[in-house]
Amino acid sequence: MSTVIDVEHLDFSFGSGALTQPVLKDITLSIRKGEIVLITGPSGSGKTTFLTIIGGLRQAFHGSVKVLDQQFVNSSEQVKVKARQQIGYIFQQHNLLKSLTALQNVSMTLEMNDTLTEQQRLERSAQMLTAVGLGDRLHYKPGQLSGGQLQRVSIARALVGRPKIVLADEPTASLDKQSGYEAVSILKQLAQESQTTILLVTHDYRILDVADRVVELEDGVIKNV
């Protein structure tokens, strides 16, 4: 199986000069296609920072981060914007657009894709929402949906573009046990069908069993793989 994410000797720190605060120290990690990897660790261990670097949202300067064969270290914004379009994101908060319906929210992912017609976009979005069990809630706005439903909409939004990688940051943090587990199971099931790699940051131990591999970070160092 091919390697999708390949990180070698990544160092990252916030601040500069005397105030430099190292966050990630000499991280080396490679993730293969279709793998589901959980990153756990206490707060402040650098998990989220690691995720934002993989996602091309933060610029790193030392080491090597190759995502989908693109080097992210010292890369231009252009390269990262391009790569981001092949990555699905799920946030701790659902971060859906309040003014749009569930369908329109999911469809936002596809609006960057020129090869589709508006009809195809809406159809694919509706299919994806049906797949996460919200086929009867297509035209509801975020204000009319529950927390678990919202997180499932954001899962649909992340997956509808058929990304090669899904990055999720504490997707269950704002959900109760059952809806959290449901959301992650749906994510796992849909990802496996399309051979999507998932990198999931969490300290919710209730969902550890969905992972192929658990990586534990502590003080910016990988402690246990």
Binding residues for other proteins, rule: CB under 8 A, are 48, 51-52, 55, 57-58, 81-82, 84-85, 87, 89, 91-93, 95-100, 104, 108-109, 111-112, 114, 157, 169, 201
Compute the least distance from the CB of residue 19 to other proteins, in Å. Answer: 19
Q: Judged by CB, which is closer to other proteins: 81, or 225? A: 81
Shortest Cβ 197–other proteins spacing (Å)? 17
* Smallest separation (angstroms) from other proteins to the CB of 192: 22
Enter the tokens of residue 142.
Answer: 């975020």
In the bound state with other proteins, the residue whose beta carbon lies nearer, of 137 and 157, is 157
HEC string of 36-102 equals EEEEECCCCCCHHHHHHHHCCCCCCCEEEEEECCEECCCCCHHHHHHHHCCEEEECCCCCCCCCCCH
C-beta neighbour count of 5 within 10 angstroms: 21
Amino acid, single-letter form, for residue 82:
K
Q: Which is nearer to other proteins, 55 or 180 (CB)?
A: 55
Check: CB of residue 90 under 8 Å from CB of residue 168.
yes
From CA 72, how far away is CA 10, in angstroms rounded? 11
**Smallest distance, other proteins to C-beta of residue 1, A:** 25
Smaller CB separation from other proteins, 95 or 195: 95
Query: Of the two residues 74 and 99, which places its CB atom closer to other proteins in the complex?
Result: 99
Minimum CB distance to other proteins, residue 56 (Å)? 9
Q: Which lies closer to other proteins via its Cβ, residue 116 or residue 221?
A: 116
User: What is the edge-to-edge ordering of all strands in the sheet holding 3-14?
Assistant: 21-32, 3-14, 62-67, 70-71
| Alpha carbons 192 and 221: distance in angstroms, whole number | 29
Residue pair 39/200 in contact (Cβ under 8 Å)? The answer is yes
